[in-house]
Structure 1
Amino acid sequence: MKLLVVGSTGLVGRHALTLALAHPQIETVVAPVRRPLPAHPRLLSPVVDFDALPADAPWWHVDAVVCALGTTMRIAGSEAAFRRVDHDYPLAVARLARAHGATTYALNSALGADTGSRVFYSRVKGEVEHDLAAMGFDSLTFVRPGLIGGDREEFRAGERAAMVVLRALHPVLPKRWRINPAERIAQALIDAAVHARPGMHVVSSQALV
């Protein structure tokens, strides 16, 4: 199969890209990026502007999409900028891939995703799930981790503090509130793309511990 991975330079996306390139059922991986990736014989990594994606690029012809795009309010700087990365970009990728024949989409969403949430972050995650569900993918999977464990390129003080607390409480915490390793999240995304079960599915944080 041919797989499109977006967000391949982020924490979860890096693991998803590594897994995809090693997977025996994935012949080609397309990873559009803002800066070039190291060369690999099975990788095509076009440099793009996510605000102006090339609608007719031949590399949109894929079987499935794994989307690990995401940011934080601190990095984005405003609600509008956050929504653009976590809502608009995943939808733009979905529309173009779907228009070129993709039938499967797997999204790294978040615990608590809900269109009716009073929390802006959770509401945006719920809205992107809702809008993706209307696009007609044969197989659609939302992976909903809680706090993601792993080494990020950028420093996130709030997440670092939360990690310390959650690791200390790990033995007594309910599974849904435990740290979800980035590798487990990435594996769930790749599995969803490869197996392409018909219908809409949710992978909960409990399943990612």
Structure 2
Amino acid sequence: MIAAIIGATGLVGKSLLELLLDSDKYQKIYVLGRSQPRINEHHFGKEKLHYLACELDELHEMNLPEPIDHGFCCLGTTIKQAGSQQAFIEVDKLGVLAFAKLLKRQSHPTLVLQVISALDANPQSSVFYNRVKGEMEQELRLLHLPHVQIFQPSLLIGERADSRTLEQIGQWLFCLTGFLFIGSLKKYKPINGLQVAKVMVDSAQQASKSVSVISNLAMHNQY
């Protein structure tokens, strides 16, 4: 199979790319983005990686070299990193939709597109972050792709290349209070980026519905 991934330098994307390279199910992995991912020179499967340099606003005019079986969207930023609410929207909503439309243009009859959203994503939410994620999910459904899998993690934990102070504080607090996330609170339990990536790889092979939503709790229960 042929895969395409965008957002491969982030917390989940980096782990996901390594899993795809390790998998014997994929013959080629196209990586789209501004920066080329750093892969160990001797990493198994490195020869499968094909980097396509692009900006998000260039996705609408791109064409991929060949049909993609599985598309993985790991785009995600913060308002602080983006610089403004509009810049955040351009990544977490418009960038995701542009990648989805790029894959749609190839008309692959069994395409599987995976997208990382967020816990409590809701287009009607009063919380800006959750509202944008919810709007993205809503518009994604309207594209009517063959198979869409939406992942809704809670706070993502793991080693990041970039510094996110609030998430670092969250990780520290989780180390102290992780035992409290039981029962009805388990759905809010922070989740490791590698764990999300593993669930994504497994789920891509099992797509059956036109749209599936994989909750934070479901991801915890799978690994």
Q: TM-score, normalised by structure 1?
A: 0.94
The percent identity for this pair of structures is: 29
Q: Deviation of residue 25 (structure 1)?
A: 1.2
1:141-193 CA-to-partner distances (Å, cap 9, x unmatched) read 11100010101111111111111222211112221121201011111222232
**Residues 1:129 and 2:137 aligned together:** yes
Matched position secondary structure for 1:75: helix
1:59 aligns to what SS in structure 2?
Answer: coil
Task: Give, as a single letter, the amino acid of the residue that structure 1 aligns with 2:18.
Answer: T
Q: Could you tell me how far apart the structure 2 residues matched to 1:106 and 1:58 are?
A: 17
Name segments (4+ residues, structure 1) moved above 6 Å.
none
- Is 1:207 the counterpart of 2:218? The answer is yes
Q: Give structure 2 stretches of 5+ with no counterpart.
A: none
Is residue 2:193 matched to residue 1:185? no
Question: Alpha carbons of 1:101 and 1:137: their partners in 2 closer, same or farther (altered >3 Å)?
Answer: same
Stretches of structure 1 that go unaligned for 5 or more consecutive residues are: none
CA separation of 1:123/1:4 partners in 2, compared to 1, >3 Å: closer, same or farther?
Answer: same
State TM-score, norm by structure 2: 0.88
Query: Quick one: structure 1 residues 84 and 56, their matched pair in 2 at CA, closer, same or farther if it must change by over 3 Å?
Result: closer
- 8 Å Cα contact 2:36-2:51 kept in structure 1: yes
Per-residue deviation, 1:207: 2.3
Secondary structure (helix, strand or coil) at the match of 1:142 reads strand
Aligned residue in 1 for 2:22:
22
CA-based RMSD of the aligned residues comes to 1.6
> How many equivalent pairs are there?
209
Cα deviations by residue, 1:41-92 (Å, 9 ceiling, x for unpaired): 1111111121112635333621121100010011011010000000001101
Residue 21 of structure 2 aligns to which amino acid in structure 1?
Answer: L
Contact 2:63/2:102, CA 8 A, preserved across alignment: no
Distance, in Å, in 2 between the alignment partners of 1:180 and 1:80 is 27
Which residue in the other structure is 2:147 paired with? 139
Distance 1:180 1:36 in 2: 26
